Chains A and B, each alone.
Chain A
Amino acid sequence: MPPHPASRRAPAAARPQRLLAVLISAAVLGGCASFSPDGGFAAVEKTAKDRLGKDVQWARSDADQDSIAKRVGELLSKPLTVDDAVQVALLNNRGLQADFQDLGVTEAEVVQAGRLPNPGFSFGRSSRGDEREIERGLHFNLARLVAMPLIGRMEARRFEQVKGRVAMSVLSLAADTRKAYFTALAAEETVRYMRQVKQAADASAELARRMEQVGNFNKLQRAREQSFYANAALQLARAEQAQRSTRERLVRLLGVWGTQTAFALPERLPDLPPSPLELPDVEQVALAQRLDVQGAKQAAEQTASNLGLTRTTRFVNVLELGVMRNSSNEEPTQRGWEIGLELPLFDWGGARAARAEAVYMQTLHRAAETAINARSEVREAYTGYRSAYDIARHHRDEVVPLNQRIAEENVLRYNGMLIGVFELLADARTQIASVNASIEALRDFWIAQADLDMALIGKPSLAAAAGPAMAAEAAGAGH
Chain B
Amino acid sequence: MLSRRKMLGGAGAISAAVAAASVSKVAMAALPEPVIQTKPDTMPPLVPNTGRPYNPVVTLNGWTLPWRMNNGVKEFHLVAEPVVREMSPGFKAHLWGYNGQSPGPTIEVVEGDRVRLFVTNKLGELTSIHWHGQRLPNGMDGVTGLNQPGIPPGKTYVYEFVARRPGTFMYHPHADEMVQMAMGMMGFWITHPKGKHPLIDEVDRDFCFLLNAYDIDPGAATPKIMTMLDFNLWSWNSRIFPGIDPLVVRHMDKVRIRVGNLTMTNHPIHLHGHEFLITGTDGGPTPKSTRQYEVTADIAVGQMRQMDFLADEEGDWAFHCHKSHHTMNAMGHDVPTMIGVDHRGVAKQITKLIPDYMVMGERGMKDMTEMEMPLPDNTAAMMAGTGPFGAVGMGGMFSVVKVRKDQKRGDYSDPGWYQHPPGTVAYEFTGALPDPARFKADVSPGPGSMPSMAKPAQDVEVKVRKPAGGHSGH
- Is A216 in contact with B336, judged by CB distance below 8 angstroms? yes
CB proximity of B214 to chain A, nearest CB, Å: 15
Central interface residue in B218, B336, B360, by most chain A CB within 10 Å:
B336
- Expressed in whole angstroms, the Cα–Cα distance for A221 and B335 within the complex equals 13
Q: Is B12 an interface residue (CB 8 A)?
A: no
- Is B330 in contact with A418, judged by CB distance below 8 angstroms? yes
- Expressed in whole angstroms, the Cα–Cα distance for A428 and B349 within the complex equals 12
Question: What 1/0 flags go to B320-360 for Cβ under 8 Å of A?
Answer: 00000000001110111111111101100110111011101
Q: Which residue in chain B gives the minimum CB-CB distance to A216? A: B337
- Is B341 in contact with A214, judged by CB distance below 8 angstroms? yes
Q: When the two chains form the complex, which single residue of B335, B340, B345, B356 contacts A417, counting CB atoms closer than 8 Å?
A: B335
Q: List 13 A-B contacts (CB under 8 A).
A: A203-B350, A203-B353, A214-B342, A214-B463, A216-B339, A413-B332, A416-B331, A416-B332, A416-B376, A417-B335, A417-B360, A420-B335, A422-B336
Q: Is A407 an interface residue (CB 8 A)?
A: yes
- Expressed in whole angstroms, the Cα–Cα distance for A416 and B361 within the complex equals 11
Main secondary structure of the interface of A (DSSP, over half): helix
- Is A428 in contact with B339, judged by CB distance below 8 angstroms? no
CB proximity of A115 to chain B, nearest CB, Å: 75
> Which of chain A's residues have a CB closer than 8 A to the CB of B375?
412, 415-416
Q: Is B379 an interface residue (CB 8 A)?
A: yes
Sample of 13 further A-B pairs with CB below 8 A, known A417-B365, A418-B331 = A202-B349, A203-B350, A210-B341, A210-B346, A407-B354, A412-B376, A416-B373, A416-B375, A418-B218, A420-B332, A421-B357, A428-B353, A432-B353
> Which of chain B's residues have a CB closer than 8 A to the CB of A399?
none
Q: Which residue in chain A gives the minimum CB-CB distance to B232? A: A418
The 5 closest A-B pairs by CB, nearest first: A415-B373, A418-B332, A420-B335, A214-B340, A412-B376
Q: Which residue in chain B gives the minimum CB-CB distance to A208? A: B336
- Is A419 in contact with B335, judged by CB distance below 8 angstroms? yes
Q: Is A409 an interface residue (CB 8 A)?
A: yes
- Is B345 in contact with A215, judged by CB distance below 8 angstroms? no
Q: Which residue in chain A gives the minimum CB-CB distance to B375? A: A416
- Expressed in whole angstroms, the Cα–Cα distance for A147 and B110 within the complex equals 130
CB within 8 Å of B: which A359-410 residues: 407, 409
- Is A421 in contact with B462, judged by CB distance below 8 angstroms? no
Q: Is B6 an interface residue (CB 8 A)?
A: no
> Which of chain B's residues have a CB closer than 8 A to the CB of A421?
336, 338, 350, 357
Residue numbers of A with Cβ under 8 A of B are 196, 199-200, 202-203, 206-207, 210-211, 214-217, 221, 407, 409, 411-422, 424-425, 428, 432
> Which of chain B's residues have a CB closer than 8 A to the CB of A211?
336, 338, 341
Q: Which residue in chain B gives the minimum CB-CB distance to A415? A: B373
> Which of chain A's residues have a CB closer than 8 A to the CB of B354?
407, 411, 424-425, 428
CB proximity of B373 to chain A, nearest CB, Å: 4
Q: When the two chains form the complex, which single residue of B352, B374, B465 contacts A412, counting CB atoms closer than 8 Å?
A: B374
Q: Is B200 an interface residue (CB 8 A)?
A: no
- Is B381 in contact with A416, judged by CB distance below 8 angstroms? yes
- Expressed in whole angstroms, the Cα–Cα distance for A430 and B346 within the complex equals 19
- Is A425 in contact with B341, judged by CB distance below 8 angstroms? no
Central interface residue in A199, A211, A414, A417, by most chain B CB within 10 Å:
A417
- Expressed in whole angstroms, the Cα–Cα distance for A421 and B368 within the complex equals 15
CB proximity of B471 to chain A, nearest CB, Å: 15
> Which of chain B's residues have a CB closer than 8 A to the CB of A425?
350, 353-354
> Which of chain B's residues have a CB closer than 8 A to the CB of A202?
349
CB proximity of B395 to chain A, nearest CB, Å: 11
Q: Which residue in chain A gives the minimum CB-CB distance to B329? A: A416
- Expressed in whole angstroms, the Cα–Cα distance for A196 and B355 within the complex equals 13
Q: Is B219 an interface residue (CB 8 A)?
A: yes
Q: Which residue in chain A gives the minimum CB-CB distance to B347? A: A203
- Is B218 in contact with A217, judged by CB distance below 8 angstroms? no
> Which of chain A's residues have a CB closer than 8 A to the CB of B349?
199, 202-203, 206
Q: Is B129 an interface residue (CB 8 A)?
A: no
Q: Which residue in chain A gives the minimum CB-CB distance to B367? A: A417
> Which of chain A's residues have a CB closer than 8 A to the CB of B346?
203, 206-207, 210
- Expressed in whole angstroms, the Cα–Cα distance for A414 and B345 within the complex equals 19
CB proximity of B169 to chain A, nearest CB, Å: 37
Question: What 1/0 flags go to B369-390 for Cβ under 8 Å of A?
Answer: 0010111100101100000000
CB proximity of B289 to chain A, nearest CB, Å: 48
Q: Which residue in chain B gives the minimum CB-CB distance to A419? A: B332
Central interface residue in B219, B335, B381, by most chain A CB within 10 Å:
B335
> Which of chain A's residues have a CB closer than 8 A to the CB of B341?
207, 210-211, 214, 216
- Expressed in whole angstroms, the Cα–Cα distance for A210 and B373 within the complex equals 25
- Expressed in whole angstroms, the Cα–Cα distance for A418 and B380 within the complex equals 11
Q: When the two chains form the complex, which single residue of B345, B353, B371, B379 contacts A196, counting CB atoms closer than 8 Å?
A: B353
- Is A411 in contact with B330, judged by CB distance below 8 angstroms? no
- Is B358 in contact with A415, judged by CB distance below 8 angstroms? yes
Q: When the two chains form the complex, which single residue of A413, A420, A432 contacts B218, counting CB atoms closer than 8 Å?
A: A413
- Expressed in whole angstroms, the Cα–Cα distance for A409 and B332 within the complex equals 14
> Which of chain B's residues have a CB closer than 8 A to the CB of A418?
218, 330-332, 335, 376
- Is B376 in contact with A409, judged by CB distance below 8 angstroms? yes
- Expressed in whole angstroms, the Cα–Cα distance for A418 and B352 within the complex equals 22
- Expressed in whole angstroms, the Cα–Cα distance for A434 and B307 within the complex equals 58
> Which of chain B's residues have a CB closer than 8 A to the CB of A407?
354
- Expressed in whole angstroms, the Cα–Cα distance for A432 and B340 within the complex equals 30
CB proximity of B311 to chain A, nearest CB, Å: 36
- Expressed in whole angstroms, the Cα–Cα distance for A221 and B465 within the complex equals 20
> Which of chain A's residues have a CB closer than 8 A to the CB of B339?
214, 216
> Which of chain A's residues have a CB closer than 8 A to the CB of B342?
210, 214
- Is A217 in contact with B336, judged by CB distance below 8 angstroms? yes
- Expressed in whole angstroms, the Cα–Cα distance for A428 and B365 within the complex equals 23
- Expressed in whole angstroms, the Cα–Cα distance for A217 and B350 within the complex equals 19
- Is A215 in contact with B382, judged by CB distance below 8 angstroms? no
- Is A424 in contact with B357, judged by CB distance below 8 angstroms? yes
CB proximity of B275 to chain A, nearest CB, Å: 35
- Is A414 in contact with B379, judged by CB distance below 8 angstroms? no
- Is B345 in contact with A416, judged by CB distance below 8 angstroms? no
CB proximity of B59 to chain A, nearest CB, Å: 30
Q: When the two chains form the complex, which single residue of B358, B360, B371, B465 contacts A214, counting CB atoms closer than 8 Å?
A: B465
> Which of chain A's residues have a CB closer than 8 A to the CB of B462?
215
- Expressed in whole angstroms, the Cα–Cα distance for A417 and B375 within the complex equals 9
Q: Which residue in chain A gives the minimum CB-CB distance to B460? A: A215
- Expressed in whole angstroms, the Cα–Cα distance for A203 and B337 within the complex equals 17
> Which of chain B's residues have a CB closer than 8 A to the CB of A419?
332, 334-335
- Expressed in whole angstroms, the Cα–Cα distance for A415 and B361 within the complex equals 11
- Expressed in whole angstroms, the Cα–Cα distance for A432 and B358 within the complex equals 19
- Expressed in whole angstroms, the Cα–Cα distance for A92 and B349 within the complex equals 44
CB within 8 Å of A: which B191-236 residues: 218-219
> Which of chain A's residues have a CB closer than 8 A to the CB of B343?
207
- Expressed in whole angstroms, the Cα–Cα distance for A12 and B219 within the complex equals 107
- Expressed in whole angstroms, the Cα–Cα distance for A131 and B373 within the complex equals 130
- Expressed in whole angstroms, the Cα–Cα distance for A115 and B59 within the complex equals 118
Q: Which residue in chain B gives the minimum CB-CB distance to A212? A: B341
- Is A416 in contact with B336, judged by CB distance below 8 angstroms? no
CB proximity of A433 to chain B, nearest CB, Å: 12
- Expressed in whole angstroms, the Cα–Cα distance for A432 and B353 within the complex equals 9
- Expressed in whole angstroms, the Cα–Cα distance for A413 and B379 within the complex equals 10
- Is A413 in contact with B376, judged by CB distance below 8 angstroms? yes
- Is A199 in contact with B335, judged by CB distance below 8 angstroms? no
CB proximity of A205 to chain B, nearest CB, Å: 10
- Expressed in whole angstroms, the Cα–Cα distance for A419 and B219 within the complex equals 14
CB proximity of B187 to chain A, nearest CB, Å: 31
Central interface residue in A211, A215, A414, A421, by most chain B CB within 10 Å:
A421
- Expressed in whole angstroms, the Cα–Cα distance for A185 and B336 within the complex equals 40
- Expressed in whole angstroms, the Cα–Cα distance for A188 and B361 within the complex equals 38
- Is B345 in contact with A206, judged by CB distance below 8 angstroms? yes
Q: Which residue in chain A gives the minimum CB-CB distance to B372? A: A415
- Expressed in whole angstroms, the Cα–Cα distance for A196 and B381 within the complex equals 32
- Expressed in whole angstroms, the Cα–Cα distance for A215 and B345 within the complex equals 20
- Is A415 in contact with B374, judged by CB distance below 8 angstroms? yes
> Which of chain A's residues have a CB closer than 8 A to the CB of B219?
409, 412
> Which of chain B's residues have a CB closer than 8 A to the CB of A216?
336-341
- Expressed in whole angstroms, the Cα–Cα distance for A395 and B441 within the complex equals 74
- Expressed in whole angstroms, the Cα–Cα distance for A230 and B1 within the complex equals 55
> Which of chain B's residues have a CB closer than 8 A to the CB of A199?
349, 352-353
